[in-house]
Amino acid sequence: MTRKINRRSSRTWLPFVLCVMGSTLGAHAQGYLTDATTTHAVLTRDPARQASTEIDAVVTNPAGTAFMADGLHLSASGIFSFRNIGVTDLNLPTGTMDAKETRFLPAVQVAYKKNRWALSASFSSEGGYGRLKAKDGDLDVNSCINAMYDEYLDVINETFMLEKVVFGLAVPDGAPDVDMREDDRIVLESRNVKAKLYNWTTRLGVSYRFNDYLSAYVGIKANRVYFRKNGSVRGAVVRPSTNEIWSASEYYQSRLDVMKQDDSNYELKDEMVDLLNSEVETWNSFEQQNNGNAYASYGKGWGFAPIIGLDFNYKDFNIGAKYEFASHVNWGGTSDFNIPANLSIGLSWQASDKWKVAAGSDIVLPEDKSFFASGKVNTAYNISASATYYINDKWLASGGYTYAHEQFMANGSQTPPSSFHTNRISLGVAYNPIDKLKIDFGVSTALHDLEAIWYSHLTSQDLDVSYEFKGQYEFKPRIQAAVGISWTL
């Protein structure tokens, strides 16, 4: 990749529309299981639902729907989820990124049970980060655009180095110190980053109860994945020694102001002022050209996969199992990825009229071409346990604990895998105001931050670029609050 640039001439910069699709689409979406959102309000108060035989079983244990009471079962939930994300780019001296992720997740489940048969369907949002807004830039994008325009920046910084020699060493004699230090460097920085990432999942299937103990399920799921990311780009000057950062126009303007306010006369003063004026005009023009949607990524696609399940019920015990096959998503053009297969298994025990306990686990199978992990899934599993106390015929309270662990590796990366783990608690109540109507309230949160080194690999054949992004990620605990209504007709 060879490009030439005249530092003193008027430049036209290309909009950065090429940039971020190939870089780190799923980096913020870390967490199939360590930071997962829920698909029903009951899961925010009781995470171990893998052996459920209530309406949430449509998603968590579909074979269990065959043990529900005859009739039409309806459920709707609204889940609110938010967290903060901090990222430090360990390759580029561009400070840190602070981002806020917010989501409102609707979820609907329907089941019709008649004799031995149950037909069920669901719609919910699973995976992704919903709406994300970065307050101080997006370092994934910074890595991408600085890699793509590396030779432009080399030429810019070569000239910048000569300017620093002139101004920093106060040459010629009598020139004021304008604070242009040797380690100052010009980079490109993204601003006003906004992103959306959703995985809308629909399930449809049928279960059959063979006898009083055993039922089976077969169904299909459809994943609709949508991604959009856009923002603006500015030139920035960073000073690694003090972790300071300025926009390039601000940096040059402040130095120009120093020169203009100085009343002394010395050789080449006018030329030095003209040089700073030229830089201010250049970077102001750059920011005007790239202040809107200077770069944008967009993608959407469908994926389909079968689902199978079994449920075994004996007296006060119930065992549920579900397997969802991997779904292949065509991301438009020649880009594609897989949503990994996953296995769920759980056990519930009605210990007494007042107490019910449950335990379960979800396992995401290894996947070499995953989307939400930005590459290869090596290991992903969680283990949950919960207890429910029936206060009276109208109220119950429940709580649970979940441990989850995941290990990912970026596509094309030769670096060590990234690992995450979390401990999460869930608490809530349910209220039955009338027969066959239940209202669930719940809240869940992780007990600590998620911290990890995250690697992501960027390649671009068109621009002959290969770049390894290395970031220190700090995911603040995701807090989820939910309310749901279930009704049997």
Q: Is residue 13 part of a domain?
A: no
Instruction: Kindly report the length of the chain.
Output: 489
Q: Is residue 7 part of a domain?
A: no
Give the separation between CA 376 and CA 473, rounded to whole angstroms: 18
Q: Is residue 15 part of a domain?
A: no
CATH number of residue 390's parent domain: 2.40.160.60
Furthest-apart CA atoms within the chain: distance in Å: 100
What residue type is 136 in one-letter code? D
Task: For residue 28, give the 3-state DSSP assignment.
Answer: coil
Give the separation between CA 78 and CA 81, rounded to whole angstroms: 10
- List the Cα angle 113/119/124 in 5-degree steps: 115
Percent helix, percent strand, percent coil in the chain, to nearest 5: 15, 50, 30
pLDDT at 7: 38
Report the number of distinct structural domains present in the chain. 1
Q: What are the C-alpha distances in Å from 486 to residues 39, 46, 321, 405?
A: 14, 16, 23, 32
Burial grade of 390 (CB within 10 A; 0-12, 13-18, 19 or more) = middle
Burial grade of 386 (CB within 10 A; 0-12, 13-18, 19 or more) = buried
**Which of 258, 246, 109 has its CA nearest to residue 187?**
246
pLDDT at 232: 77
User: N- to C-terminal Cα distance for the chain?
Assistant: 67
Each residue's pLDDT expressed in tens, for the chain with a length of 489 residues: 222 333 333 344 443 434 443 343 334 434 555 556 678 889 999 999 999 999 999 999 999 999 999 999 999 998 888 777 666 655 554 455 566 777 788 899 999 999 999 999 999 887 655 555 555 555 555 655 665 566 667 777 777 877 777 676 555 566 677 788 878 888 777 777 777 777 889 999 999 999 999 999 999 999 888 877 777 777 888 887 777 788 888 888 988 888 888 777 766 677 788 888 888 888 888 877 776 556 666 778 898 999 999 999 999 999 999 999 988 887 665 567 788 889 999 999 999 999 999 999 999 887 766 655 455 767 788 999 999 999 999 999 999 999 988 877 655 555 566 677 888 999 999 999 998 899 999 999 887 766 666 555 544 444 444 445 566 666 677 788 999 999 988
Q: Is residue 4 part of a domain?
A: no
Q: Is residue 404 part of a domain?
A: yes
Q: Is residue 3 part of a domain?
A: no
For the entire predicted model, the pTM comes to 0.77
Task: For residue 42, give the 3-state DSSP assignment.
Answer: helix
Yes or no: say if 341 and 325 are a contact pair by the CB < 8 Å rule.
yes
DSSP code string of 130-193: EEEEESS--HHHHHHHHHHTHHHHHHHHHHHHHHHHHHHTT-STT-------TT-EEEEEEEEE
Q: Is residue 8 part of a domain?
A: no
Stretch (H or E) spanning 114 = strand 96-114
pLDDT at 413: 52
Give the separation between CA 275 and CA 156, rounded to whole angstroms: 14
Pairing of strands 342-349, 375-390: unpaired
What residue type is 130 in one-letter code? G
Q: Is residue 74 part of a domain?
A: yes
Give the separation between CA 296 and CA 435, rounded to whole angstroms: 52
pLDDT at 451: 64
Domain hosting 217: range is 20-488
User: What does residue 16 show for φ and ψ, rounded to 5 degrees?
Assistant: -90, 60
Give the separation between CA 335 and CA 326, rounded to whole angstroms: 17
Pairing of strands 437-446, 418-434: antiparallel
